[in-house]
Each structure stands twice: as C-alpha cells, then as structure tokens.
Homo-oligomer: A and B are copies of this chain.
Amino acid sequence: MTTERFQRRIPEGEDRERLICGDCGFVAYENPKIVVGSVVSEGGRVLLCRRAINPRRGFWTLPAGYMELGETVEEGARREAWEEARVKLALEGILAVYSIARIGQVQVIFRAGLAEPGHEPGPESLETRFFEWGDIPWDEIAFPSVHWALKAWREGGTGIAGNPPEDRRGMAGL
C-alpha cells in the first residue's frame, strides 16, 4: 500500500482531519474496522487457534477476523471460523461487543457451537484445539480481548459483555 502521497488535512465542509491523496484528492476515510469472531464451545471445552501469522504468531486466539463488505456479522463470523479452523458454526447469539479504540476496532463476538463435527487448521493457523477451561494456556493468549471473551463466556449470563472496567476504551497494548 502506497501512502507517501497522502497528507492529513481537513476537507472542505468537514470538521476533522482526513488522509487525502496529494495527487488525486482522494479522501481515504479512516473508519473503525469490525472484527467478527466466536467463542466456540463443545461439551464445556472452547476452541482456540494457534496463529500462523503475525502479529502474535504462535499464540492462541479465537477464530476471528475482519468483516468483509457485503456480508452480515453472522456470515462474517461463520466465514472466519471456516477460514481459520475449518469448523461449521451454529451461532447462538452475541456474547460481547468490544471497542479497541487504540487501533480503531470494534469486535463483535458470538457464542457458538458446532453445526458439524470436526476442526483443523486453515492457512492462518498452526493448530486448532478444544481446551478444557483449566487447560487454557493463559500465558500464550494472543490478545487482551481473547481473555475478555473467554471470561465473559465462562461467566455465562444473558446480557452482552462490553470492555472490562480496567480497560473501558481498549487502550492496552500487547
């Protein structure tokens, strides 16, 4: 991605700085991005994927990724679970919505089960595994929001979780 020609200035009729191409005037609106993912459980165990890519290669994460244009949040969550862990999801509803203001992300995390048995690593995973709660490798979890979602899942409840009190805006780094 070439961004050298881009400058920050306020477009006519607006009140905020945007990234604007000095060559052609294209305004690259930098919007927050949506991550869709799932806590997939089966018999009390939860599915984690060991990342084959950076950031955090080798660490464990939920099946999750950027939502694409033209899909729903549910379709995005199912697509990501297939891409990363070759699982077919049965979605059960939204578990949590997290804001990671530091990097401009909103994460929509579903509760899910398996619509069909089976899982295996997709191209972005080294390994996929269902963990008993007591076996989750907490020191090898890729991102803070994976901790948050696993804990929200474990606590159960019918409401929807948000950022935890200690990081209301999603500013913690890795």
Residues of A within 8 A of B (CB): 1-3, 5-6, 16, 21, 23-28, 30-34, 66-75, 93-94, 97, 99, 101, 104, 106, 108, 158-160, 162-163, 168-170
Residues on B with C-beta less than 8 A from A26 are: 1-3, 5-6, 21, 26, 28
Closest B residue to A33 using CB positions = B31
Residues on B with C-beta less than 8 A from A32 are: 34, 67-69, 71
Q: Which 6 A-B pairs have the closest CB atoms?
A: A72-B99, A2-B25, A69-B104, A158-B158, A160-B160, A94-B160
Given contacts A1-B25, A72-B168, A158-B159, 19 further A-B contacts (CB under 8 A): A2-B25, A21-B21, A21-B23, A21-B26, A30-B69, A31-B31, A31-B33, A32-B34, A34-B106, A70-B104, A72-B169, A72-B170, A73-B106, A74-B162, A94-B94, A94-B162, A97-B108, A106-B108, A160-B160
A24 x B24 contact (CB < 8 A): yes
B70 x A101 contact (CB < 8 A): yes
Min CB distance, A146 to chain B, in Å? Answer: 18
Given the complex of chains A and B, what is the CA–CA distance between A63 and B125 in angstroms?
A: 41
Knowing A32-B67, A70-B104, A106-B34, say if A24 contacts B21 (CB, 8 Å).
yes
A73 x B97 contact (CB < 8 A): yes
Residues on B with C-beta less than 8 A from A108 are: 97, 106
Given the complex of chains A and B, what is the CA–CA distance between A170 and B31 in angstroms?
A: 21
Given the complex of chains A and B, what is the CA–CA distance between A26 and B2 in angstroms?
A: 5
Min CB distance, A31 to chain B, in Å? Answer: 5
